[in-house]
Every structure is written in structure tokens, then in C-alpha cells.
Structure 1
Amino acid sequence: MISVPLPLFLTGLSAIFGALVLTRAWLPGAAKTFLALLAALIMVETLLVALRFAYEVEGVLVIQRLLPFWIGPLLYLGYMALSDRAARLQPASLLHLGAAAVLTAIVAALPPIRVALDAMIGASYAIYALLLLRLWRGGPDRLSQLGLAHVGFMRRMMLMGAGLLGLTLVMDTLIALDFARNDGANVGRLLSFASLLLIAMLAAATVISLRRSTSPPPSGAARSEDAALTERAEAYLEESRLFVDPQLSLTRLARRLGVTDRALSEAINRSRDKNVSQFINGFRVAEAARLLRETGDAVGAVGEAAGFLTRSNFYTEFNRVTGQSPGAYRKAQRT
């Protein structure tokens, strides 16, 4: 038995994390919702773990074994809402949360089979850790729904999230093996160790979230070089109209300008406070606005002509830049 209910410390830290999420005005609403739900879920789960193993309340087992299926989906969807895939968030939510609901229903309906349950939970943790790492490897430009000042912080949080899922997978595997070989004789020590590691991770996340960036501003010469390169990119896009190609990428644009991906990305970030996706989409939104004013083309056709790959991405970006839907913009211009 755990002498000190360390999981209760995790409950408290999760509450602090949830409060921080809800008070971050720069977080988009969808991301805030998913991450706050995640914090609430972890609060409940750690409280149930404390009741079961520290205070031997076995009645909570039924609920405790259902909640882990929701951790990975909520964490991944929270970061997807910050990315350039935010336009696909609704179908993705139906897919990932629907899968969690199906697994929850299966486990709730069937007699508990520990090996199968542990395998299903472990697979969920592994899949979502890999999905987060895949999103993280896309680089800062993937988090196109965030202001530049917050991208670095949220990328660090993304890595911590993937690490949390990986750590939980390892500890759940060790606990399952202990139940299989020793009838759970070492579960208390394993939970204490896991709780200490998770407390350290959540505490670090809390400290990082409260710290202000202390990186020095670029020098005057560096600012001048950034502005010059960004202006070259703007002039090239306006002249070539390359932005109407929905497959345009950072690498392709950088090659046309004869610079590295990193040099172009950093110049745009520092001189315009935007990532490359937002920078290019600004040209597309301007083109779409012109077409909405000057033509009678259908809204979907306008988005396609302006270079947007999907209608949902067009609506999301147009609303982000102008504060209006394309249809409302056209109506306002005509009246």
C-alpha cells in the first residue's frame, strides 16, 4: 500500500494545469476545450488511482479502467486544433472520440480480461504518442493557429505530452507484468515511482508555462536582413502568384528565393510575427477577397482559385484573417 497518496499531488497539479489552460487567452477555443477536458480527466483518473491503491476502495475500478481510452484522443485533438489541420478537426474529433467511445463501451460491456484490457490501453497510448511526435516533427509552421510568441512553448508541451503517454505506457506494462507474476505485490512501489515522475513532468510544464521568454531580441542588422528577405518573398509571391498553387511549401518557396528553409522561416517569423503557413495564406485570403468582391463565382470555387486545398481550410483561414466568413464578407462588400 502507498504510505503517502502521491496520485493526489497529480490531481492538484492537473487542476492547476486546467486553470492555466482556461486562462490562456491566446489559445483557440477548440484547443482550450480539449486540453481542459484532458486536465479534468487526469484529475478524475489520479483521484481514482489514489482511492483504489492508497485507500483500497475497490469500487472505483469499474470507472478507472474506462478513462484511459480518452487521454490520448483529447491530447492529440488539442494539438491538432492548433495546427494547419485545424480545418479537419470536426471529422477527426468524430473519428478519435468515436473510437474511444467504442472501446469504452466494449470494456464496459464485456467481463474484465486484464491482458486484453492492458493491451488495448497500451496500444492507445503508443498510437497517440506517435501521432503527437509526427505532428511535432512537422516543425513550428505546423502550429499555424498560434501566434509566433507561443509556438515554441506549445511545441515543448507537445513533446512533454508524448513523453507522458510513453511513460504511462511503460509503467502500465510494468504494473501488468507485476500482476501477472507477483499478484500485484510491487504495484504500490511502481505507482509511487510513476507518480513522482509524472509530478516532475507536470510541475516542469507549469513552471515553463509561467515563465516569460527571456531570449534577446535580434540586432538591428539581423532585423534589417530579416525584413529584406521577407520583402523579397512578398514581391516574388505577388509577381509569380505562386501562392495559388495549393501544394506550395516552405522548401519550394525557399528554393525559388535561393535561401535555406530555416533562413526564410526565421526571417518571416521575426519580421512579420507569423509562421510561413500564415504568411502564404495571407496572400490567398487577399486573393479570395478580391474574387469575392469582383466576381460572382461560388464561394467554394473562389477558395480553390485562391490556392486553398480544402473548403474547410479556406473558411478557417479567411475567418482568422478578416473576422468574417467568405459569404458574410461578400454580402458586406455588396451592401
Structure 2
Amino acid sequence: MISVPLPLFLTGLAALMAALVVTRGWLGTHAKTLFLVLAAVMMIETILVALRFAYQIEGVLVIQRLLPFWIGPLLYLGFLALSDRAEHLRRLVVLHLGWAAAFTLVVAAVPQVRIALDFLIAFSYAFYAVLLMRLWRGGPDRLSQLAVAHIPKMRRFMVLGVLLLAVTCLMDTVIAVDFIRNEGANVTRMLSLGSLILILLFAGAAFWIGKAPTGKETTTSLSDQDDDVVTRATQFLEETRLFTDPDLSLTRLARRIGVTDRVLSTAVNRQTGKNVSQFINGFRVTAAADLLRATNDPVSAIGEAAGFLTRSNFYTEFQRAYGQSPGAYRKG
């Protein structure tokens, strides 16, 4: 039996994660809120797990088996808030948390569904692990709302998130099978082993997200190759004006100048301190500023002509570059 409930160690680590999130000023408001809600859910869940399995308090069962539906969506949405899909965050929050709410209500209202509850929870973990991994595989430039210095650590955190969901999915599946075959005779040992693994993952996440930037990620000595790659990319974009294509991607640009995605991304990061998305948007903002001075076209049309997919993205990038809105810039 567990003498000191290991899930309570997870509660403490989740609380530490919440404290670290609060003190990271570089996290956006939406991402910070989602991660804090996630930490709160995980703290409550681990406390309920300890009460149920370590102290045999079965009255917490219903809530303890419903909260896991929210963990995957909150983790995934937290990273989406830092990504190039941030402008669609409100719709995505409604979609993903809406599904979590629907599952919660169905399971709470229809007792028969609880028979398959563990497998439904495992499916939720697996589904969001896949979505998070797909976001990670999109490369550093997917985290376009972050300063470049923080992107590597958040990508490591994404991997830890995938591992967290995968391990928890496996734990729930194995525990469900044990309840079916052995009436839960081995659950305590399984929970102990799973908790130890999760403690290591939480500790790793806390270390990486709390680690201060060392500067090594952006101040690496510049090589002649970096300078050459950025020069070629700059000349190519200026000559072809391919930046006006809103679908221009890192991969496409890298292929057109004859380098790999990684070489282009690394060179741009080290030479300019920007990711490739910001690098390309710099050309778009400059082109938009020229059009604002030279034409009387509507501001929204100028944003589209410069290559911005949405008006909100155009205004955000222009404000960042010039410290004022496109309309104010034209009047000035």
C-alpha cells in the first residue's frame, strides 16, 4: 500500500508549475490563463486520486473520473495560444472545451456510459497527444506568438506534454483492463509506478519552463553560411515579392533558395533574432507602409496586397514595427 500518497507529490508539482507560469512574463495572457486552469484541474484531480486510492474514499469517484476529459484540451489550447493559430483561439476554445463539456455531461447523466469511461478518457489523452505532436512537428515557426529566445524551451515543454498525455493514456488503459480482469487488484501498484513516471515528467517540465534564457539559443557565433543564407533569402524576397503570397511557408522559401528548413530557420534566428514568420512579415510590413504612402487604397486592401492573410494580423505586425496603426501612419 502507499504510505505517502504519490499523487500528492504530483499535486505539489502542479502547484509549482502554476507558480512558474504566473511569473513568466513572456507568456501571453491567453496561454497563461489556459495553463493555469490546466494546473488547477491537475491539482484537484491528483488530490482526488489520492483520496480514492490511498484512503479508499469512494465518494470522490464521479468527479475524479470526469476531470480528465479537460486535461488534454487545456494543454493543447495553451500551446495553440502561442502559435500561428492564435487569432482563431476563441473559436478553438469553444470547439475543444465544448467537446470536453459534452463528454462530461453525457457521462454524468447516463450511468451506462460509465462502463466505457476509462477507455473514453484514454482516447481523449491519445487524441490530444497526437494533436500536440502535430503542432510540434510544424517546427519552431509555428510558435509565432513567442519571442525567439523562448521557443526552444516551449518546444521541449510540448514534448513533455505529449509524454505526459501518452503515459497517462497508458495508465488509464492498463488500470481499466485490470478492473475488468482482476477487479482492480493491481491498481495500487500500477498507480505508484505511473505516478513516479509522471513525477519525473512534471519535474522536467518545471525545470525547463523555469530555466532563464542563457542567450546561447540566439547569440551563437554567426557563421559565413548564416550570413549567406539570410542574404539570399532577402534578395529572393525583394526580387520576386513572394512574400505577398499569404500561403508562403518556411519550407517553400527554403526550397526556393536551395537550403533545408532547419538551415534557413537557424540562419534567420541567429542573424536577425526573429523566426522565419517574423522575418517574412517584415517584408510585408515594409511593402504595406510603401503602399500607404503612395496610394489611397483602403487599409484592408493594402494588408491583403502585402500578403497578410487577416486584417488582425496585419494590424498587429504593423503596430509592432511602426508603433502605430496603419491608418495613423498614413495620416502622419
Normalising by structure 1, we get a TM-score of 0.91
* Residue 65, structure 1, aligned to residue 65, structure 2: yes
For 1:42, the equivalent position in structure 2 comes to: 42
Q: Determine whether 1:288 maps to 2:288.
A: yes
CA distance in structure 2 between the aligned counterparts of 1:124 and 1:316, rounded to whole angstroms? 34
Per the alignment, in what secondary structure is the counterpart of residue 65 of structure 1? helix
CA distance in 2, matches of 1:242, 1:321: 20
User: 2:119 — aligned with what?
Assistant: 119
Post-superposition Cα deviations, 1:174-208, rounded to whole Å, max 9, x if no partner, equal 11111111111111111111111100111111222
Task: Rate the CA distance shift 1:236–1:113 in 2: closer, same or farther, 3 A.
Answer: closer
Give, in whole Å, the separation in 1 of the partners of 2:22 and 2:167: 26
Residue 219 of structure 1 corresponds to: 221
Residue by residue over 1:198-231, the C-alpha shift from the partner in whole angstroms, topping out at 9 and shown as x without a partner, is 00111111222333448485335x1x54234323
CA spacing shift, 1:323–1:180, aligned 2, 3 Å: farther
Count of equivalent residues: 330
Partner deviation per Cα, 1:136-164 (whole Å, 9 max, x = no partner): 11111111111111111111110110111
Distance change >3 Å, CA 279–CA 231, structure 1 → 2: same
C-alpha distance in 1 between matches for 2:322 and 2:96: 31
CA pair 168-60 structure 1, distance change in 2 beyond 3 A: same
For 1:165 and 1:186, the matched residues in 2 are separated by 22
CA contact (8 A) 1:144 1:278 kept: yes
* Alpha-carbon distance in 2 for matches of 1:322, 1:186: 63
**Fraction of identical pairs, as percent:** 62
Instruction: Quote how far apart the aligned CAs of 1:64 are.
Output: 1.1
Q: What SS does structure 2 have at the residue aligned with 1:248? A: coil
Question: What is the aligned partner in structure 2 of residue 150 from structure 1?
Answer: 150
Report the CA distance between 1:309 and its aligned residue: 2.4
Distance 1:98 1:38 in 2: 15
What pairs with 1:1-335 in structure 2 (closer than 5 Å)?
1-111=1-111, 113-212=113-212, 213=214, 215=216, 217-219=219-221, 222=223, 224-322=224-322, 328-331=325-328, 333-334=330-331
Cα pair 1:136 1:159 within 8 Å, conserved: yes
Q: What is the rounded CA distance, in whole Å, between the counterparts of 1:110 and 1:314 in structure 2?
A: 48
Q: Compute the displacement of 1:68 (Å).
A: 0.8
Unaligned runs of 5+ in 1: none
Could you tell which deviates more after superposition, 6-15 or 261-270? Answer: 261-270
CA displacement, residues 96-128 of structure 1 (integer Å, 9 cap, x when unaligned) = 111111111111211154332122211111110
SS at match of 2:66: coil
Are the aligned partners of 2:119 and 2:172 in contact in 1 as well (CA < 8 Å)? Answer: no
Contact preservation (8 Å) 2:10, 2:198: yes
- Quote the RMSD (CA, aligned, Å): 2.1
Worse overlay, 258-267 or 240-249: 258-267
How far is the alpha carbon of 1:237 from its aligned partner? 1.7
Check 1:98–1:291 CA distance in 2 against 1; reply closer, same or farther (3 A cut): farther
- TM-score normalised by L of structure 2: 0.92
Give the conservation status (yes or no) of the 8 Å contact 1:293–1:330: no
2:2–2:188 contact (8 Å) kept in structure 1 = yes
Deviation at 1:301, TM superposition (A): 2.3
Unaligned runs of 5+ in 2: none
Q: Could you tell me whether the CA contact under 8 Å between 1:88 and 1:312 is conserved in 2?
A: no
